[in-house]
Amino acid sequence: MSALLHTHSGLRWVVLILLLVAIGRAFARKNGGLYEKSDKMINLFTMVSLHTQLLLGLILYFTSPKVVFVEGWMKVSQARFYGMEHIAVMVIAIALVTIGRRKAENAAEPAKKHKTIALWYTIGLILILASIPWPFRNLGAGWF
């Protein structure tokens, strides 16, 4: 349980760095740059890291003591966060990134591929940043 939680917690940084690199490249190349193998790979690895978080998160969801559905759980901010908000927003964010990558791969021109990644991955990043239990949100989670 603790190893799983530490992996899920630490992997957030990998996810965030990959998203930033993918978005940075997409914005830098969206006006005429090529869509190279390295673009394809970074976009793929970003999505895979997110799907790994989803899998780990799902296991945590059914094992974590922070996910409790006792009477009045919606009124307790930590129980509401882990039981509903975190999973809902993260699943939406991961779905958007997955759809965006699919659309980018299907687009014909390199510029269109980069623009698509720039848009969908940025929306995903914003949602993910908004629903990470950062320590200053007092949800009982740390930085790593």
Binds ligand HEM by CB under 6 A, chosen from 43, 46, 53, 122: 53
Under rule CB under 6 A, residue 52 binds ligand HEM: no
Instruction: Work out how close the CB of 89 gets to ligand HEM at its nearest, in angstroms, rounded to a whole number.
Output: 9
Residue type, 55: L
- Compute and round to an integer the Cα radius of gyration of the chain: 17
The neighbour count for residue 32, using CB atoms within 10 Å, is 9
Which of these ranges, 33-41, 56-64, 101-109, 114-122, lies near ligand HEM under the rule CB under 6 A? 56-64
**What is each CA distance from 89 to 2, 94, 129, in whole angstroms?**
23, 9, 10
- Residue among 67, 63, 81, 93 at smallest CA distance from 137: 81
Give me the residues that bind ligand HEM (CB under 6 A), please.
Answer: 5, 8-9, 12, 15, 50, 53-54, 57-58, 60-61, 64, 66-67, 82, 86-87, 90-91, 128, 132-133, 141-142
